[in-house]
């Protein structure tokens, strides 16, 4: 990684780990994960499923919240506070700044996901229901966080934090429901309607690619090809989003 990107990334990471909100989110997430144990006591017969379902959902929700809440201000807050002026007056390409901010948040999310994932796995070990496939789910969730972070940083280059937050969360929800547009396309007779559904289906992020929770919770096997496809999808789609973010930021007037 070029030195300037690394410097920006490490500084972004340092900002995150000195931010109390991150610790609050993380503490709350770990507490909720451990609550899965209590919740399982209320059910009869399917404790393992409840623990896995609840724990993995908690990791997803808090990972997405961290990616969105920290990602939406990555660029816009620097512009608003004018800290970016001092940085970009240096011999630095604007794309290096965007990529550095992205990498810094990725590093933060990595630590975050590891803490949540290991806490959850520890709980499973303590209950004697440890399943290595759960770690694969956590990995896939992490890949999803990387894509959401890229989207958040794109919106951060385009707009203010509130709009960026709404757009990123909307894409997260739609990204998990994209299959319905494919279904709708098959049922529509209008050419324009079919084209629109097709465009939405192929252009918006397919977050369902990263979702293997159901399979693992129900003990179904997850083929390696599915994980490889998710990683490939992230590489292409994520790179495209980041390139777009860099292009937008390159043209931005820093008033």
Distance (Å, whole) CA 255 – CA 247: 18
Q: Give the nearest distance from C-beta 109 to other proteins in angstroms.
A: 19
Nearer to other proteins, 34 or 92 (CB): 92
Least CB distance from residue 91 to other proteins, whole Å? Answer: 4
Residue closest to 67 by CA, chosen among 29, 122, 124: 29
Residue 20, interface with other proteins (CB under 8 A)?
no
CA trace torsion 240, 79, 65, 214 (10° rounding): 0
Residues 6+ away with beta carbon under 8 Å from 71: 105, 148, 149, 151, 152, 153, 156, 164, 168
**In this complex, which beta carbon is closest to other proteins, that of residue 95 or of residue 166?**
95
Residue 107 is a binding residue for other proteins (CB under 8 A): no
Nearer to other proteins, 81 or 218 (CB): 81
Segment 76-95, which members bind other proteins (CB under 8 A)?
A: 81-83, 85-93
117 near 19, Cβ under 8 Å?
no
Query: Does residue 3 belong to the site contacting other proteins (CB under 8 A)?
Result: yes
Q: In the complex, which residues of this chain contact other proteins (CB under 8 A)?
A: 3-4, 6-8, 11, 14-15, 18-19, 81-83, 85-93, 253-255
């Amino acid at each position: 990684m070029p030195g300037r990107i690394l410097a920006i990334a490490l500084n972004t990471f340092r900002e995150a780990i000195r931010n109390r909100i991150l610790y609050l989110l993380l503490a709350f997430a770990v507490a909720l994960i451990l609550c899965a144990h209590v919740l399982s006591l209320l059910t009869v017969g399917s404790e393992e499923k409840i623990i896995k379902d609840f724990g993995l959902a908690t990791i997803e929700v808090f990972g997405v919240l961290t990616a969105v809440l920290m990602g939406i201000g990555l660029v816009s807050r620097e512009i608003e506070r004018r800290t970016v002026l001092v940085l970009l007056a240096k011999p630095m390409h604007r794309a290096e700044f965007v990529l550095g901010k992205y990498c810094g948040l990725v590093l933060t999310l990595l630590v975050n996901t590891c803490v949540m994932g290991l806490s959850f796995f520890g709980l499973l070990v303590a209950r004697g229901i440890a399943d290595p496939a759960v770690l694969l789910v956590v990995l896939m969730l992490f890949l999803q966080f990387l894509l959401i972070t890229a989207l958040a940083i794109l919106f951060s280059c385009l707009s203010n934090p509130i709009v960026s937050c709404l757009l990123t969360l909307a894409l997260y929800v739609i990204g998990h429901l994209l299959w319905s547009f494919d279904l709708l396309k098959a049922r529509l007779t209008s050419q324009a309607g079919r084209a629109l559904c097709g465009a939405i289906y192929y252009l918006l992020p397919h977050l369902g690619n990263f979702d293997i929770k159901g399979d693992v919770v129900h003990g179904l096997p997850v083929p390696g090809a599915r994980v490889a496809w998710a990683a490939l999808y992230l590489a292409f789609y994520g790179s495209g989003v980041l390139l777009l973010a860099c292009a937008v930021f390159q043209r931005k007037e820093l008033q």
